Amino acid sequence: MVDIIVCVKRVPDTSEAEVIIKDDKRAIKDADLTFDINEWDNYAIEEAILKKEALGGKVTVIGVGGEEVNEVLRRCLAKGADEAIRLTDPAFDGSDGYAIAKILSAAIKDLQYDFVFTGAQAGDDSYGVTGQMLAEILGIPHATMVTKVDINNGTARIRRELEGGLEEVDEINKPAVFCIQTGLNEPRYVSIMGIRKVSKKEIPVKAAADIGISADEVGEVGSMVKLEEFSIPPAGELAEMIEGTPDEAAGKLAAILKEKGAF
Amino acid sequence: MRFELTDEQRMIKSAAAELAQGFEEEYWIEKSRGNEYPREFYDELVKNGWIGIAIPEEYGGGGMGMLEMVLGMVEFGNQGADVGLMFVLTPVFGGLSVLKHGSEQQKEELLPKIANGDMRFCFGITEPDAGSNALKTTTTAGKRGDNYVINGKKTLISGIDLAQKMLVVTRTMPYDPKHKVAGITLFLVDVDSPGIDTSELDVGLSLLEKQYEVFFDDVEVPAENMLGEEHRGLIPLFDTLNPERMTGASNGVGFANFAINKAVEYAKMRQVFDVPIGSHQGIQFPLADSRAKIDAVELLLYKAAYLYDKGMPCGREANTAKYLASEFGFEAVDRAVQTMGGYGLTEEAGLMRVWKNIRLIKTAPVTNQLVLAYIGQHVLGMPKSY
């Protein structure tokens, strides 16, 4: 049996969309963007469900944000998570990764769990810090960039992805936080049967007071990082258009690549 | 009047989009090019409950309705996935026909197998001299002991190679001009029954589902495989027409959305004479016109499905949605092709396979002329025109 908590985030899909920065420069215009579960979290939830299916136990999924987050949480329930909790409070607005870690830890500390899975990073702000900070605050070990998880009698044997194609294998006792890298499984699709099961399921909501965290610990005031502004990098400064016939252009390109040490 | 989708319906759309996005566009182009069935995609449809979406939960289905099926189908089409015949053959001709007109025994035997993918259907209606006019069916079913014996020939039968069962339209009484509607009987026939022979048709407009001629030579069918009542097969037959039209319309709307989105993306990016081609009215307005038309059709389609699920008359809406989805859809895809210039005609641009399919919807499952005849006669109350 293994009880796993998975922290998920709702993010905009900006892979093919045109990103427009709002006038105050501190956010992007998201009205025309589609939102979905963070890609890394999608692998994390799949891994947790696979472990539950193999070993028994329970998967609880937690998200921070307004009602719109329910859609992401329901998706996880439809795939096979057992419970979902949404953490929401006006005081949470403007939280950085550290403040989010504090919010998550406040909710998680009272729950029964063996392991906590987070995505290795989020596709929107790409900080990649929440999981590690969460583990620190909970006072438990963690592993980042996790590409394989085997759990046996409360001990996890995990593989981590390092620089330069190197891999590391660790044994970590429960409880621990694993920051899951993409590609370690094949996330299942949401099925009609799953949708049927969860569409009317109420998702409990907890505010700052319910998890015992004060307003000055979260939001902008409780954050370490203050977002100043977004900007789109100036285009073209480093770009060089190679002119000429295909033969000439290929020759010039090869010369440049050689000069830069690509070969 | 409520236009917002429920949480469940929103999940259906996002689940369909996600499944479709799991298959790259190249997958569909290759299947289309190689004339190969997209089995991997179909298997995912089955596995994730899409084929049994409208079958009640007690028979192993998703327990949802036509509206949910249609919402999913449109979303699949929006992403470029070609699901038209996948839904019309097994879920509609198989699932809905058995659900509405099958005996309890037939429902218990067939519906769970339809939902879990073990049983696929094809539909044996069209004959060389009888298609839209089912009354002219010449394939006969005569009684012999406890069985019926089917003899005759069907043509343009989609996907018999993929199916285990065929819903076959037969005559059990000679055509009588005084009782025109009597004498048609439907049977659920195993496609591997002795006496059934098939021959693949060479069609210019190749589809994912191959087309066949099917010959019945003394094919024995147990009487309990009759669907509905003897001689009164037009009732179950006509009952499938509205859902069938809705699936056609869904395919058209989805593919039109797909084509418009592709064309808009291209027109914003493609620079000719130093400006994006989309800045010219000649490019922009046809796409805007198509956007407006398809938005309107999509709403009508959802209304048709909503009415069907409520058990209310929906022939007007279903027929109109099918008509406009195919006409405006074809126009939209054609405009998208034109927007892309010569590139639009390449397989790589992804529109040619869609163009073929949307052309089909003007003709099948019913011709647009007969849809107009329906609207003229049954909506406007004008004299029968054919």
Q: Cα–Cα distance between B277 and A9 in angstroms, integer?
A: 38
Q: Compute the count of residue pairs across chains A and B with CB atoms less than 8 Å apart.
A: 54
Work out the angle at residue A223's Cα, subtended by the Cα atoms of residues A222 and A224, and round it to the nearest 5 degrees.
130
- Alpha carbon B17 to its chain centroid, in Å, reads 19
One domain for residues B227 and B249: no
- Look at residue B2 and tell me if it is in a domain: no
One domain for residues B84 and B128: no
Q: How far is A199 from chain B (nearest CA, A)?
A: 5
| A179 and A263 share one domain | no
Q: Do residue A74 and residue A176 come from a single domain?
A: yes
Of chain B residues 299-338, which have a CB less than 8 A from chain A?
Answer: none
**Residue A193 contacts B where some CB pair is shorter than 8 Å:** yes
- Number of domains chain A contains: 2
Which residues of B fall within a CB distance of 8 Å from A77? Answer: none
Per residue in A41-58, pLDDT (tens digit) is 999 999 999 999 999 999
> Per the domain annotation, does B385 fall within a domain?
no
Query: What pLDDT does residue B379 have?
Result: 96
B386 assigned to some structural domain: no
Provide the residue range defining the domain that includes A246.
234-263
In chain B, beta strands by DSSP E: 121-124, 140-144, 147-158, 165-171, 184-190, 196-200, 211-222, 226-227, 271-272, 275-276
Chunked mean pLDDT (size 10), chain B, 386 residues: 90 95 92 89 97 96 96 97 92 94 97 96 90 86 95 94 96 88 94 96 85 96 96 91 96 98 96 94 98 98 97 96 98 98 93 92 92 96 93
User: Domain of B307: which CATH number?
Assistant: 1.20.140.10
The answer to the question of residue A43 being in a domain is yes
Give yes or no: residues B201 and B250 share one domain: no
Q: Which chain B residue shows the shortest CA-CA distance from A73?
A: B11
Dist CA A171 CA A165 (whole Å): 20
pLDDT value at A93 more than 80: yes
The H or E element that residue B360 is part of is: helix B352-363
Interval B168-200: pLDDT, tens: 999 999 988 888 889 999 999 999 999 999 999
> What SS3 class is residue B241?
helix
Question: Is the Cβ of A185 closer than 8 Å to some Cβ of chain B?
Answer: no
- B204 with B331, same domain? no
Say yes or no to pLDDT of A237 above 70. Answer: no
State the residue range of the domain holding B73: 7-116
**pLDDT tens for residues B273-303?**
999 999 999 999 999 999 999 999 999 999 9
CA dist B257 and B294 (Å) reads: 8
In whole angstroms, give the CA distance from residue A218 to residue A238: 40
CB contact under 8 A, A74 and B44: no
Dihedral of CA B324/B330/B333/B338: which sign? Answer: negative
pLDDT above 90 covers a percentage of chain B that reads: 86
Q: Confirm or reject contact between B57 and chain A (CB < 8 A).
A: yes
Helix B281-309 × helix B66-78 angle, to 10°: 160
The total number of structural domains that make up chain B: 3
Residue B47: closest CA among A179, A60, A188: A188
Core vs surface per residue B10-37: b (16+ CB within 10 A) or e: bbbbbbbbbbbebbebeebbebbeeeeb
Tell me which chain A residue has its CA closest to the CA of residue B53: A192
CATH number of the domain encompassing residue A199: 3.40.50.620
